[in-house]
Amino acid sequence: MAPIKVHGVSISSPTQRVLATLYEKELEFELVPVDMKAGEHKKEPFLSLNPFGQIPAFEDGDLKLFESRAITQYIAHQYADKGTDLACGDNKQKATIGVAIEVEAHQFDPAASKLTWELALKPVFGMVTDKAVVEENEAKLAKVLDIYEGRLAHSKYLTCDCFTLADLHHIPTIQYLLGTEAKKLFESRPHVSAWAADITARPAWCKVLALQKH
């Protein structure tokens, strides 16, 4: 039995973030499905892993973590010598990666996640998309992507010419949005478009997508 366990569902963006990191690191793990419809994430034993009742939760031996970005950073540093080096460079470079990770969490993700919900997920659940919310968040995301376009004119990835956690954290929501009308926000910016195509084609990410077909 693999010592690493991920409690979540394969269509959840935060869960996907962790799974992609594990695949990049070529680590063995067990995905433990959480029955969201039955509310398993809101009761024990799941709450002993994450008292806030949100997926994913993570176990590595006796270590228990939650919050996907904290989990990915633990994996990247604990298993630095495995697979892809997701935190490359010296301390100054790592600090730059840290900034980009914060930007994804606080600037990119709020708008991208709202658009994912409205454009990609609501239709699946038979719910009506709120066009006003879409319009507001497309404008917010466009401003972030304008900044990314300028940054990506100077390097292949967000912080340097190496793929890092900062890039990886964007993949789940970008994958969803490229299947919606919001793809225009990426396609209209050549450097962002090339970057999005590159990171969503990574073999580790393809393995995450394959999990959804089971």
Domains in the chain: ranges and CATH: 4-83 (3.40.30.10), 91-206 (1.20.1050.10)
Give the Cα separation of 82 and 201 in Å (integer): 20
Residue 1 has pLDDT above 90, yes or no: no
Q: Express each pLDDT in 89-148 by its tens digit.
A: 899 999 999 999 999 999 999 999 999 999 999 999 999 999 999 999 999 999 999 999
The percentage of residues in the chain with a pLDDT greater than 90, rounded to a whole number, is: 96
Angle between the N-to-C axes of helices 131-152 and 190-200, in degrees from 0 to 180, rounded to the nearest 10: 90
Alpha-helix runs per DSSP H in the chain: 13-24, 68-78, 91-103, 109-115, 131-152, 165-168, 171-177, 183-187, 190-200, 203-211
pLDDT at 179: 97
pLDDT at 113: 97
Summarize the confidence of residues 168-191 as an average pLDDT.
98
Give the Cα separation of 97 and 85 in Å (integer): 12
Q: Express each pLDDT in 55-94 by its tens digit.
A: 999 999 999 999 999 999 999 999 999 999 999 889 999 9
pTM over 0.85? The answer is yes
pLDDT at 206: 98
Residue 18 has pLDDT above 80, yes or no: yes
pLDDT at 3: 87
Phi-psi region of 102 (alpha: psi -120 to 50; beta: other; left: phi over 0): alpha
pLDDT at 213: 75
Summarize the confidence of residues 28-40 as an average pLDDT.
95
**First vs last C-alpha separation in the chain:** 20
pLDDT at 88: 86
pLDDT at 2: 62
Residue 214 has pLDDT above 90, yes or no: no
